[in-house]
Amino acid sequence: MSSDSEKPAAAKPEEKAAPPKPAPKPAAKTEEKPVELPAFEKGISDKLVEKFGDKIEVDFVKEDRVGIKASKESVHDVAQFIRDDLHYDHAESVSGVDYPADNEIEVVYHLGSYTDSSLARQVLTLSTRAPRESSPIPGQDSTKLPSLRDVFYSVEFGEREVFEMLGVYFDGHPDNRRLLLPEDWADLPPLRKDFAIKGR
């Protein structure tokens, strides 16, 4: 039974919709300033481009470092120019990188100078690539590059190590013997990425 004293429930006040938020302003575009290359190092790369044009590719130019890529057909001429005209007189190291996805092996020479004081801090990286055989027979397949031994005497042992560890044969090298592995090594070159360590 309802009582006359009962009052009807008060209606809830209507909720007002929040005003729409203003659309965000588009971020102001910051103009990218061109990277200013160090003048001395750029001068070195410019001389190489002027001499060899599209036979080389400038990989990088930064303080105390210049990187140059050359084809296997032109790498010997490029190395001679670097020695005779740019005054880099020795190779500090020779290393190799296996690129199985590209079917190539890259050989990298780090070049420096003892005789030109303006190059005392500089390292020029010269790299080139050889075709990669999936079933290598080092010295008897197409994985070959011209040796730079007659340009930079100090590559002698570095090229030998790349030969045995990655299977790159250097045409014109006076002593393409193994350096670390036994002469009867019959497995894949051990620094190739598909080399598997047995027993593990």
What predicted TM-score, i.e. pTM, was given to this entire model? 0.80
* Neighbour order of strands in the sheet with 90-99: 56-62, 65-70, 123-131, 104-112, 90-99
> pLDDT tens digits, residue range 81-106?
999 999 999 999 999 999 999 999 99
> pLDDT tens digits, residue range 110-169?
999 999 999 999 999 999 999 998 888 888 899 999 999 999 999 999 999 999 999 999
Domain boundaries, the chain: 39-171
Its CATH class, for the domain covering 39-171, is alpha beta
